[in-house]
Structure 1
Amino acid sequence: MRLSIKRYLPKGLFQRSLLIIVLPVALMQGAVTWAFFEQHWRTTTARLSENIAGDVALIVKMHQRADGEGFDQIADIAFTTLGLSVEFRKDDALPTTRRTAFFRVLDRTLRRALSSKLNEAFWFDTTRYPNYVDIRVEAEGGVLRFIAARDQVFATTGHIFVIWLSGATLILLTVAILFIRNQVKPIRHLAEAAEAFGRGQDMERFKPAGAREVRQAASAFLDMRARLKRHMEQRTQLLAGVSHDLRTPLTRLRLQLALMPDSPEREAARRDIAEMEAALEEYLAFARGQAGEEPEAVDLTALCETLGDDAARQGVDLRLDLEEGLSVHAREGALKRALANLVQNAAAHAGDVALSARREGSRIEVIIDDDGPGIEPGQREEAFRPFSRLDPARNANRTGVGLGLAIARDTVRAHGGELRLETSPLGGLRARVSLPA
């Protein structure tokens, strides 16, 4: 199985853009740092350490040849010509403890240089004094102690290079973060505007911004939004006009039937007119969608209780199991119609109907269960298609024109949710509505 690097890469545009800038800079600075420390700093430090080791060895030889006499003159020569402070500690011994520097390469370099120049035992400390190095060499009758300036032993410019490099990197990252954030912000606003429009909301203050390509995409989105809004308005006006034009002759027919004597034919005609009026209302509701209503905070618990009261007035025994304090940001009328469609659909094909609502993490689940014949899993997606009646599956949609589930899912999706059909524990159909809390 091949290991894919994609799973380890950042998913967001901001993080990916930052990575595109940071990764090459990090590689470049890593190479520069390695070249500096490996080719310059270490080489310079090694040469300085070898020089100081040679000076120490020279003073040790001079002390041995002088046989302990004229040490003050040797110390004076070491200080004036070599910059070394030399002290002879009579009857002293080398320390037995050693403190290691943070950069161990310094100790290793100095130890290697002293070992190559001296035959005598030695000890040194690079940590006790900030600006000096303490070197001690075993001599006859005591110990020679050397105090050398740190810049005589090591290249002390390495930390300056690191500070400048780190400062430049910090400035570069700050500029990159600010620049990339400003470039990503218009894209994020475009995504938020598209998501809001998909939920039926309108971000009037949104306007194109950012780079040329982002502005083109934002302008194309605004044009598309305008065309879709015109299309929805035209659809609503068209069906509203058709509904109005058809209601007038239907009203005349209803009046004529009211003047006719009672007969089986009269009752059949009245039922046909009632079905036609119901179909017109359903067409108009499907065409109207979310028009004319602004989203607001909706008490979902109270809304479901209202559905229970409405169902009771229609002779439906709707069992409720509701969690208190549920709230969603929605168009109350549209959401109520969608849930009412699901309840009426269940009541039309079952005797036992239950509605429950509870919070599940960041979502709110509204579930309508019934004990009816249900819908086969393979036909559930077909049930959401407009004008689909699914006669064999639900013992025929005896009323309506097959728009109830289509309107319900369209409304739920417009609120950022989802509607799914499942098998109910009661034996029939379960409609699960998931909405953002």
Structure 2
Amino acid sequence: MKLLPSTVWTRFLKRRLPTSLWGRSLLIIVLPVLVMQVFVTWTFFDAHWQTVNARLSEGLAGDIAWAVETYAEDPTPEGLETLAGRAERTLSLSVAWQEATSLPENLRRGPIGVVDRALEAALASRLDRPFWFDTTRYPNYIDIRVQVGDGVMRIIAPRERAVATQAHIFVVWLLAATVLLMSVAILFIRNQVRAIERLAAAAEAFGRGETRKRFKPHGAREVRAAARAFMDMRDRIQRHIDQRTALLASVSHDLRTPLTRLRLELALAPPFKRASAMQGDLDQMEHMIDEYLAFAQGEAGEASDTLSVADLLDQAAEDARRIGATVEVDVPEALTVNVRPLAFRRALTNLVGNAAAHGDTVRLSARRLPSGATELAVEDDGPGIPEDMHEEAFRPFSRLDASRNQNRKGVGLGLAIARDVARGHGGDITLDRSTLGGLMARIRLPG
């Protein structure tokens, strides 16, 4: 489908415009000021400066025409001397006669040409003789020459006789006022954006499970209202999490008491045929209770620390080797991550244990991505999970028995807990096909 020109232009602007609130707010202030400055400057030069220059040039052209005509009436040395003295005293013009010469052939014009056009038009309207002028040779003077008979009358006039030389002061004042206004606007915008950034940082920290004190809202009334609403919401969510954790802890404690009694009675009972099966059921019940509590609690209040990725993977590899898996580890020694130790080790243990339970060979690797993020990969040579069921595998209590009989000793919380921990660190976990033929779990953590 061919895009309309307006759609193409809109997309072009969206790609070029700033994406941050700071940049867009600054653009809202800067763009109108620049447009106003350009418009005012253009209006000044078009309606005022050029008009003044034209009037000055006409006055200078009239004085030159008077000098030429006066000399033409009395072309004697005495008449020239009288004319030059009068022009010097009353008109600030320096008049000289060049005998048997002609006008220069090359034209010398300024880079802008506004003064040249105004002076040329004024001289053409006042003189009926050939003329030549140069506004560039002398910074403060204009060289004008008029053909009179077989000679040339050369007149040196002050530049201010043809140009409003103080026009730049207006532009300087305009720029100074613009810089002052923009500086004040930038300070106010920066203050408002900083308040929003503080709110965003608090929201991101809460999403990662970090515990921070309530901060004092700043900025505009709407921003302060949003900050207070966020803190109230954060407190309500935290109370809900605490209540859920306390409830699960209480249930866990209450269930552990009869489990302990059953273990004791089973240990004291005479040997019988179903004793081993009953012991296995008790172990599975205890493991399920531990997983429920870990999923509800999540070690959210734990402090972060910088750990060696090699040490983390080596420890997880040792745990997997104890259950009979062959584990390969490939990780740079200097690679580190800033994580909550207990929570991240639990997530890594869940992934490695899951891989070891469904495959004979497990490969652990890590690398630093070009973006600065860290990627850890856990691969196995097991049956894997169909691609269309990857997201289903992360749902709590999902077991996927048909494909992998995932988490056979638990209740389907291994991947859910691992992803919750990764997202709590600002990262994520994704599943893919392993080069070993089984499943690959990628943990990405921000740099």
Q: TM-score, normalised by structure 1?
A: 0.95
The match for 2:436 among 413, 426, 432 is 426
Q: Does 1:78 align with 2:87?
A: yes
Matches of 1:154 and 1:292 in 2, distance apart? 75
Matches within 5 A, 1:16-415: 16-69=24-77, 70-204=79-213, 206-361=215-370, 362-395=372-405, 397-415=407-425
Query: Do the aligned partners of 2:210 and 2:301 also contact (CA within 8 Å) in 1?
Result: no
Q: Which moved more, 1:114-123 or 1:43-52?
A: 114-123
> How many angstroms does 1:96 deviate by?
4.6
Matches of 1:97 and 1:328 in 2, distance apart? 74
1:389 alignment partner AA = R
2:262 alignment partner AA = L
Pair 1:240–1:63, CA change in 2 (3 A):
same
1:412 alignment partner AA = A
Q: Which moved more, 1:184-193 or 1:194-203?
A: 194-203
Matches of 2:215 and 2:110 in 1, distance apart? 60
Q: Which moved more, 1:185-194 or 1:142-151?
A: 142-151
2:294 alignment partner AA = A
Q: Which moved more, 1:82-91 or 1:317-326?
A: 82-91
Query: Do the aligned partners of 2:60 and 2:161 also contact (CA within 8 Å) in 1?
Result: yes
> How many angstroms does 1:110 deviate by?
1.3
Q: SS at the partner of 1:264?
A: coil
Q: SS at the partner of 1:385?
A: coil
Q: Any idea what the Cα deviations from partners look like across 1:104-158, whole Å, max 9, x if unmatched?
A: 2111221222233223332222233333222122333532221212221112232
1:356 alignment partner AA = S
Matches of 1:150 and 1:203 in 2, distance apart? 70
Matches of 2:211 and 2:409 in 1, distance apart? 35
> How many angstroms does 1:71 deviate by?
0.8
Q: Any idea what the Cα deviations from partners look like across 1:312-338, whole Å, max 9, x if unmatched?
A: 233222111112211111101111110
> How many angstroms does 1:348 deviate by?
1.2
Query: Do the aligned partners of 1:373 and 1:395 also contact (CA within 8 Å) in 2?
Result: no
Q: Which moved more, 1:400-409 or 1:372-381?
A: 372-381
Task: Give the aligned partner of residue 16 of structure 2.
Answer: 8
Q: SS at the partner of 2:430?
A: strand
What is the CA RMSD across the aligned residues, in angstroms? 1.7
Q: SS at the partner of 1:216?
A: helix
| Unpaired stretches in structure 1, ≥5 consecutive residues | none
Matches of 1:326 and 1:96 in 2, distance apart? 77
1:15 alignment partner AA = G
Matches of 1:259 and 1:307 in 2, distance apart? 36
Query: Do the aligned partners of 2:57 and 2:163 also contact (CA within 8 Å) in 1?
Result: yes
> How many angstroms does 1:179 deviate by?
1.2
> How many angstroms does 1:298 deviate by?
1.7
Matches of 1:49 and 1:218 in 2, distance apart? 65
Matches of 2:357 and 2:319 in 1, distance apart? 15
Q: Which moved more, 1:198-207 or 1:246-255?
A: 198-207
Matches of 2:323 and 2:108 in 1, distance apart? 91
Query: Do the aligned partners of 1:193 and 1:202 also contact (CA within 8 Å) in 2?
Result: no
Query: Do the aligned partners of 2:214 and 2:231 also contact (CA within 8 Å) in 1?
Result: no
Matches of 1:335 and 1:396 in 2, distance apart? 20
Q: Which moved more, 1:165-174 or 1:72-81?
A: 72-81
> How many angstroms does 1:224 deviate by?
1.4
Q: SS at the partner of 2:274?
A: helix
Pair 1:309–1:234, CA change in 2 (3 A):
same
Matches of 1:295 and 1:385 in 2, distance apart? 26
Query: Do the aligned partners of 2:376 and 2:444 also contact (CA within 8 Å) in 1?
Result: yes
2:286 alignment partner AA = E
Q: SS at the partner of 2:128?
A: coil
Q: Any idea what the Cα deviations from partners look like across 1:89-110, whole Å, max 9, x if unmatched?
A: 3345444554432432111221
Matches of 1:398 and 1:189 in 2, distance apart? 45
Matches of 2:196 and 2:293 in 1, distance apart? 37
Matches of 2:275 and 2:193 in 1, distance apart? 68
Number of equivalent positions: 437
Matches of 1:291 and 1:59 in 2, distance apart? 95
Query: Do the aligned partners of 1:296 and 1:332 also contact (CA within 8 Å) in 2?
Result: yes
> How many angstroms does 1:12 deviate by?
1.1
Q: SS at the partner of 1:431?
A: strand
Q: Any idea what the Cα deviations from partners look like across 1:37-89, whole Å, max 9, x if unmatched?
A: 11111111112112211211221111112123411111122233333221223
Query: Do the aligned partners of 2:354 and 2:406 also contact (CA within 8 Å) in 1?
Result: no
Q: TM-score, normalised by structure 2?
A: 0.93
> How many angstroms does 1:397 deviate by?
3.8
Matches of 1:168 and 1:190 in 2, distance apart? 34
1:402 alignment partner AA = G
Q: SS at the partner of 1:143?
A: strand
> How many angstroms does 1:292 deviate by?
4.1
